[in-house]
Amino acid sequence: MRDVAIIGVGMIKFGKYPDRLLSSMGRDAVLAAMKDAGVQPKDIQAAYSGSLHGGSLLGQRIFKDLGMVGMPINNMENACSSGSSAMREAWLGIASGLYDAAIAVGSEKLSALGGGVLPMEREDIEANEGMVMPALYAMRARRYMEDFGAKPEHFAKVVVKSRKCASKNPYAQFTKETTVEEVLNSRMIADPLTLFQCCPTGDGAAAVVLCSGDKAQKYTTRPIWIKGSVLVSGRFINGFRDMTTPEITVRGSKLAYEMAGVAPKDVDLAEVHDAFSIAELLYYEALGFCKHGEAIRLIDEGATDINGRIPVNPSGGLLSKGHPVGTTGLAQITEVVWQLRGEAAGRQVKDPKIGLTHCTGGGIYGLDHGACSIHILAK
């Protein structure tokens, strides 16, 4: 397999754009990434488009008006992992030697769905009984409180950290700082999770340009190297689940660390799938940043703050930057690239060398999850 570098990234500000076409948002992200990379349309040999609700042939609609036609365009849906799955396929196409340069784009317009809770598939037994994602993560939170003594204040601290980071991110949906009291006093959604502890729906797009290692210096003097790229799907559940251990993330991260030749202690920053406050805490443990049951210690000590031992979600994460689902994985990649290049003004982690992104997707009755993609990047 060949070395693969990221040579350009771009995204639009997350928010709600009722009057914009989804394809035009994706196109803006593509143009920003290509400008950042210094490439022309003729340089791109393949494109990968990720979206959950993008409809038919979204990728073709994005690239048509840029004159990027005739090349292979792959449209991908993998729930919240759609964008990061597109990223992995672009990496694989180049690493295998099939292409020298490719682009991945994630685009989503959730405001068109009217807001509220995204529905689960009706064929899943739990969905027919009223199971939605906030309820699932509320159960995880209750179990974690019972097993490890967590308090609602611990969950609220995750949101406070998130909003503080997002206040320095011009691409974030929510940029106003908050307090523990405000988080806990926001409307209850699924006890103990309040409104501020649930990620918002919204619109957005992000794109990443990749090329083979031997071609990277042609375009840039600051390539970011893809050291690990992993995509795993859910496994059958046998018996009762440990609600405080996201098994799919544990499996995926082990594979990613092995591929990259690094350990959790080597990671300088991470962007993780904090769709709910409790989720971020669980992923501290599942990704190996601390032992099982110790996540509340990390949040109490400030270990995951911008200036902490292992900064997590310096972008503001899903909770504050936003979560236009098919875009999220590529927005995470974009943030880590900016951090590794020293371009995250106002929220810059000090001299990071290795960054990790983690994006999970969906839930299916009988499996431990739907999908999980993890990327490890290095400068």
State pLDDT tens for residues 206-221. Answer: 999 999 999 999 999 9
Residue 324's SS3 state is coil
Model confidence band, residue 111 (pLDDT cutoffs 50, 70, 90): confident
- The domain made up of 4-112+202-223 is a member of CATH 3.40.120.10: no
Q: pTM for this one? A: 0.95
Fill in the amino acid letter for 311: P
Residue 372's SS3 state is strand
C-alpha–C-alpha distance, residues 139 and 233, integer Å: 22
Segments making up each domain of the chain, as ranges:
4-112+202-223, 127-199+228-378
Specify the fold of 127-199+228-378. Answer: Peroxisomal Thiolase; Chain A, domain 1 (3.40.47)
Q: Do domains 4-112+202-223 and 127-199+228-378 have the same CATH topology?
A: yes
Does residue 81 surpass a pLDDT of 70?
yes
C-alpha–C-alpha distance, residues 326 and 42, integer Å: 26
Distances (CA, A) of 2 to 39, 52, 101: 20, 30, 12
Model confidence band, residue 264 (pLDDT cutoffs 50, 70, 90): very high
- What mean pLDDT do residues 125-143 have? 81
Residue % of the chain over a pLDDT of 90: 88
C-alpha–C-alpha distance, residues 115 and 118, integer Å: 8
E strand residue ranges, the chain = 4-11, 46-50, 73-76, 101-109, 188-190, 193-194, 203-212, 224-233, 269-271, 354-361, 371-378
C-alpha–C-alpha distance, residues 182 and 175, integer Å: 15
366: buried, middle or exposed (CB in 10 Å: 19+, 13-18, 0-12)? Answer: exposed
Q: Report the catalytic residues.
A: 80
- What mean pLDDT do residues 34-54 have? 97
Fill in the amino acid letter for 132: V
The pLDDT of residue 117: 55
